[in-house]
Structure 1
């Protein structure tokens, strides 16, 4: 399963959503602080949207510490980019956990310090409220609204 996660992250480095999605089971369950829980096609569309919006921009992904067995996997990765809403540089370090089924990723959970991300993305305002459930809920509503718009235009 190591090869599957290397394929996934190498595709992400190259902003190749189609190859990333090949690594996902049809019943994929994705979860992270920014989007909340996404299932099946919606999770796949999130990667399509993210890869599409970052093409031609100063976006970098690196990954390390891939560890797997037949059932579970772990990895660390880092994204560097300009947050489009504020133009501020963000360096986000993420820990990922995976579960596998039929040789594919069936569950993908990304964890990161949302408060640290908010400070980078929004400055003082992010420092002030970035560690609150209010902020997390508002962020998830906004990211899902953006995903809704992407899906309505591209599906």
Structure 2
């Protein structure tokens, strides 16, 4: 196991737990590629701005992470974020598996995997339970996330 890369993953999640987006962004390379089921693929500053937006809006937030593993090129971790989804006021417990790729002591790829339908059931309530599995609702969730990120970036 690469201790340096495992420490980088831990530093990223410890910063997230403190809602310190600047420290999170410092773990990323300038041209990082991030992906998850809500935001899709984000590159470079867009990925860091997503964390800036999420940490600035976080309510009733807590995070725990475990199963950090890393070698010279890749790594991973399991993490769970609990927070209040601002659009509905509902509590979400998001259980996520993360994969990382490292280059030059930084994270150059970060891919989060979670069940979007499970997320939508918690975040959206009945609508998410009944329709959260459909491409129509999942695409609407993605469009809203992108719209929110663009509005955040425009206001900076």
- Provide the aligned C-alpha RMSD in A: 0.8
The alpha-carbon deviation at position 69 of structure 1 amounts to 0.3
Aligned equivalents of 1:134, 1:31: Cα separation in 2: 20
* Structure 2 residue aligned with 1:44: 48
Q: TM-score, normalised by structure 1?
A: 0.96
User: Equivalent residue of 1:75, what SS?
Assistant: strand
SS of the counterpart of 2:9?
helix
Query: What is the rounded CA distance, in whole Å, between the counterparts of 1:130 and 1:102 in structure 2?
Result: 39
Which residues of structure 2 form unaligned runs of 5+? none
The count of aligned residue pairs is 152
- Range with greater deviation from structure 2 (16-25 or 124-133): 124-133
Q: CA deviation at 1:32?
A: 0.3
Matches within 5 A, 1:94-109: 94-109=96-111
C-alpha distance in 2, partners of 1:78/1:24? 20
User: Following TM superposition, where does structure 1 have runs of at least 4 consecutive aligned residues deviating by more than 3 angstroms?
Assistant: none
Q: Deviations over 1:79-99 (max 9, x none)?
A: 111111111111110000000
For the residue of structure 1 that corresponds to 2:155, the secondary structure is helix
* Structure-2 residue corresponding to 1:112: 114
Alpha-carbon distance in 1 for matches of 2:146, 2:114: 18
Structure-2 residue corresponding to 1:70: 72
Q: Distance in 1 between matches of 2:67 and 2:134?
A: 30
